[in-house]
């Protein structure tokens, strides 16, 4: 391996250690129960309740206390906090080793002494590799922390949060159901009684139809040139 190749390896390792990304949540839920938890992302995962921020990744401090009344949720929340702490420690140590490994470039100043030069360069590359491995393990542990946090939120919402309850000092606090009296049935319509027939009042005979071709009676004041025709 030449000195140029060693320099390229050190540079790529440093770039891999320094890589990062960013992102933001653009849509937020509008309909929530009073103590339901939601996840957002603003360059880091955040757990929110309608009252405000509960915990942030990658450590998720405070999540286990918020969901303590649900055993499965508390178990995953504690696992998320532990994995988050481990991830931060491994990442910081890996970056520190990666930066320290750049000191191997000092070997280029001893080109007149090949043994010393290669010793410094190879030592720097070895430290860089260890830093990369620790950073990769820290990244995997960070993903585990996010997964446990999501599980904790889901367990809590299923058991308490989505039902309007919360974890209080004495355990689960659920809202008291409010009973509403059903609406009264509509009143039955009043009966319709037949109209009594008066026997002493004679009934009028039905009107007979006029024979066809008969001109209907004309008003007296109708002009002689106009007549009223039968209905068609």
Which residues lie closer than 8 Å to 77 by C-beta, 6 or more apart?
Answer: 60, 63, 64, 66, 67, 148, 149, 152
Q: Where are the domains of the chain?
A: 3-20+64-165
pLDDT of residue 6: 46
pLDDT of residue 7: 46
pLDDT of residue 225: 59
Q: What is the pLDDT along the chain (232 residues), one digit of tens a residue?
A: 454 544 444 455 555 545 455 567 777 777 888 889 999 988 889 999 988 999 998 999 999 999 999 999 999 999 999 999 999 999 998 888 877 777 666 666 667 777 777 777 777 778 878 888 898 899 999 999 999 999 999 999 999 998 888 898 877 887 766 666 778 778 777 777 666 666 666 666 666 666 666 666 666 665 655 555 555 5
pLDDT of residue 83: 95
pLDDT in tens, 27-76: 777 788 888 999 998 888 999 998 899 999 899 999 999 999 999 999 99
What is the value of pTM for the model shown? 0.61
pLDDT of residue 130: 86
């Amino acid at each position: 391996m030449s000195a140029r190749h060693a320099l390229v390896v050190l540079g790529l390792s440093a770039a891999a250690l320094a890589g990062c990304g960013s992102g933001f949540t653009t849509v937020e839920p509008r309909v929530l129960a009073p103590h339901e938890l939601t996840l957002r992302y603003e360059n880091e995962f955040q757990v929110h309740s309608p009252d405000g921020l509960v915990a942030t990744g990658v450590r998720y401090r405070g999540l286990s206390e918020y969901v303590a009344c649900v055993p499965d949720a508390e178990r995953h929340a504690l696992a998320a906090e532990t994995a988050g702490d481990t991830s931060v420690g491994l990442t910081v140590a890996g970056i520190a080793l990666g930066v320290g490994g750049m000191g191997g470039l000092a070997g280029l100043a001893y080109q007149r002494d090949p043994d010393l030069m290669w010793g410094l360069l190879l030592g720097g590359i070895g430290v860089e590799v260890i830093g990369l491995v620790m950073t990769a393990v820290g990244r995997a542990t960070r993903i585990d922390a996010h997964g446990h946090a999501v599980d904790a939120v889901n367990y809590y919402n299923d058991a308490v949060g989505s039902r309007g309850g919360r974890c209080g000092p004495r355990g689960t606090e659920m809202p008291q159901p409010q009973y509403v009296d059903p609406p009264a049935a509509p009143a039955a319509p009043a009966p319709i009684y037949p109209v009594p027939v008066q026997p002493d009042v004679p009934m009028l005979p039905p009107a007979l139809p006029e024979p066809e071709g008969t001109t209907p009676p004309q008003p007296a004041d109708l002009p002689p040139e106009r007549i009223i025709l039968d209905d068609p």
